[in-house]
Structure 1
Amino acid sequence: MRRLRLHQGLAAGDLTIKYIESTRPCRRCFSHSKTNRDLTPFTRRIFKLPSAPSPPSQHHNDLTTFLSYAERISLPPTSTVYVGTHYEYTVLRSLRRYALALHRIGGRDDAGIDLVGTWHLPERERERALRVLVQCKAFKTKLGPNLVRELEGAIRQAPVGWRTGQTAGVLVSPREATKGVRDALARSSYPLFWMMVELDGTLKQALWNARAEELGLGPLGVETRYGAGAVDTGSGSVTKQVALTWDGSDIPDMDQVEQGLVRYEDQWVKAWGVDLSKIDKETLLDVVERVFPDGHPEAGPNGSLSAVDQSKVLQALQEL
């Protein structure tokens, strides 16, 4: 039986964290799948997810391709471009473990945003996926509350698809949040997170403010883990890392989420009972969205739709 010790929140105004220590062995915070995997435009339409942004580089789209590109052009590992890009891809890969589907962006009009995406937390994975804007700060120096103000400005200039009341800002750094940063997070009127992610991708700290809690994140928690997989091979000492949980259980990683979305998509298409050899699913979705402009019906637990809804759509299809 694992032993848990519950700690009360941090003393930083409205910044409150559910924080648990556990003897359960920690797992590496990585998904082993390709991190440039993406949902299809059709899947995004069904679940009302924003379109994936165009990648900022034609030469790389994940950590593996970036390392190959950097080696090919002899990019110095100590350069600002190398360190910053490497860290962004590391964060993108690491946070897939917690159901964050992130995309690297960049360019003149990025408003200082490094990654954008959606957070598919349990009970929110369908039309209620949380939008996130991420700023990565791979600084060695002490970080101040000015970073929180910068993130607030980025939220105000969010790209199309992320200008919603369900958008949270995330600051990621290999350093712990200072008291000034924690106080600024607590004071902010925006839903904000701080995540300490080391250069190797290990999550070591996660904080969020009361405004973020209002987005239905009550079951979100932080658990510190020790044991197998957490041994520092350099010193031989047992290290620790944190894991994000939902209602006390591990959050399904993005691979699992994507598989679930695709399964539901297939179930939804089949539930209409149309002959897909005569009509493609994009046309079916066009018709469903026209018949139900306020939101299309969802298939029930047994994969069925109401006979009334089916007849409306089948009639509209016959009129094409």
Structure 2
Amino acid sequence: MELTNRNIISPFTRHLLKIPKAPPAPSQNHHDLPSFLTYAKQTALPETTTTYVGTKYEYTVQSTLRRFAFDLERIGGRDDAGIDLVGTWHIPGREFTPFRVIVQCKALKKKLGPNLVRELEGAFRHSPVGWRTSEKVAVLVSPREATKGVRDTLTRSSYPLFWMMMESDGALKQVLWNSKVEELGLAPLGVETRYSPLADATSDDRPRPDVVLAWDGSDIPDMGAVEDTISLKEAEWLSAWGCEDLPEAQKYELLTLLENSYPELTREIINGGVTEDFGPKKQQVLLLLKEKFKERFN
């Protein structure tokens, strides 16, 4: 399981691809599972406390779902509507136009009922700014299997919802979703069973079955691979303007000029095509850029 989730999508890239930034994190002392475990050890936070168990589980969910192209950040606060993680889902074909995702984590050992699905629906309706879009899914993650009542409520919901059963170590055991998810264009999504190798060849334990999310029968590239793809796309976008080595501030200036003068060009280049009159437009944009940063182009 991948343990490092530090987000490497830069603010400029988020602006370019119109990927929202998550609300402020509830803690400045940790941002992923390794940093939380270090913080908990340094502060002698008891492992039996609700804070420890809940926070560790949230970061475990964050880390595990990166394997399936989820880019999630932990949030929290008085007005979080019960949402623990928010982010984007970069499924194949939607790497640059990802779905928005909100996640609730319930690290509870007791039986979970349909009321949690209704709570997830409430979180869906009260998502933070940047996640108020129709291209969004909500996910509830718990160490418990979905009951019949949960499955029935999930099926009847008018929102695109997922239920995931994930153990405390991040092993994914069950993934369910309703028809509203498939109506978003996620019909190729599937679940496959994989068997973990024996930890100890001398042990009598059998390999345990875990599940993985697949896309059209193939593995979904993990978030690290998606981030590499996004970085290459940004480089291609800058190269189209002959501005590969621009400092960050000037990248923003270029993008601002485009959004004000030729907004259609931004998406056309990202999507792999340009208009026939791209050349003259490019020259006009670069002339404007030179006027603002003459020292860069001398």
Flag whether TM exceeds 0.5 (same fold). yes
Q: Is 2:8 aligned against 1:38? A: yes
Deviation readout 1:238-280 (Å, 9 max, x if unpaired)? 2100011000000000000000000010001101235856982
Query: For residues 170 and 86 of structure 1, what CA distance do their matches in structure 2 show?
Result: 18
- Structure 1: state its 5+ residue gaps: 1-29
Contact 2:198 2:206 in 1 (8 A): no
Q: Is 2:80 aligned against 1:121? A: no
Structure 1 SS opposite 2:134: coil
What does 1:115-194 correspond to in 2, within 5 Å? 115-127=85-97, 129-194=98-163
Identity of aligned residues (%): 56
Aligned-pair distance for 1:310?
Answer: 3.8
Change (3 A) 1:231 1:212: farther
Query: For residues 91 and 253 of structure 1, what CA distance do their matches in structure 2 show?
Result: 14
Q: Is 2:39 aligned against 1:77? A: no
Identify the residue that residue 52 of structure 1 maps to in structure 2: 22
- Which is further off, 233-242 or 206-215? 233-242
What amino acid is the match of 1:50? P
Change (3 A) 1:120 1:231: farther
- Which is further off, 228-237 or 193-202? 228-237
Query: For residues 68 and 310 of structure 1, what CA distance do their matches in structure 2 show?
Result: 53
Aligned-pair distance for 1:233?
Answer: 8.5
Query: For residues 232 and 83 of structure 1, what CA distance do their matches in structure 2 show?
Result: 31
The structure showing larger relative contact order (alpha-carbon pairs under 8 Å, at least 6 residues apart) is: 1
Change (3 A) 1:261 1:277: closer
Aligned-pair distance for 1:177?
Answer: 0.6
Deviation readout 1:172-206 (Å, 9 max, x if unpaired)? 00111111111111000000001111100011111
Relative to the length of structure 2, the TM-score reads 0.90
Q: Is 2:240 aligned against 1:271? A: yes
Identify the residue that residue 65 of structure 2 maps to in structure 1: 95
Aligned-pair distance for 1:152?
Answer: 0.7
Deviation readout 1:112-153 (Å, 9 max, x if unpaired)? 0000000000011112x0100000000000000000111111
Query: For residues 190 and 277 of structure 1, what CA distance do their matches in structure 2 show?
Result: 43
Which residue of 274, 278, 295 corresponds with 1:309? Answer: 278
Aligned-pair distance for 1:234?
Answer: 6.8
- Structure 2: state its 5+ residue gaps: 292-298
Query: For residues 222 and 138 of structure 1, what CA distance do their matches in structure 2 show?
Result: 23
Query: For residues 114 and 83 of structure 1, what CA distance do their matches in structure 2 show?
Result: 14
Paired positions, count:
288
Identify the residue that residue 164 of structure 2 maps to in structure 1: 195
Aligned-pair distance for 1:100?
Answer: 0.2
Structure 1 SS opposite 2:277: helix
* RMSD between aligned residues: 2.3
What amino acid is the match of 2:181? A
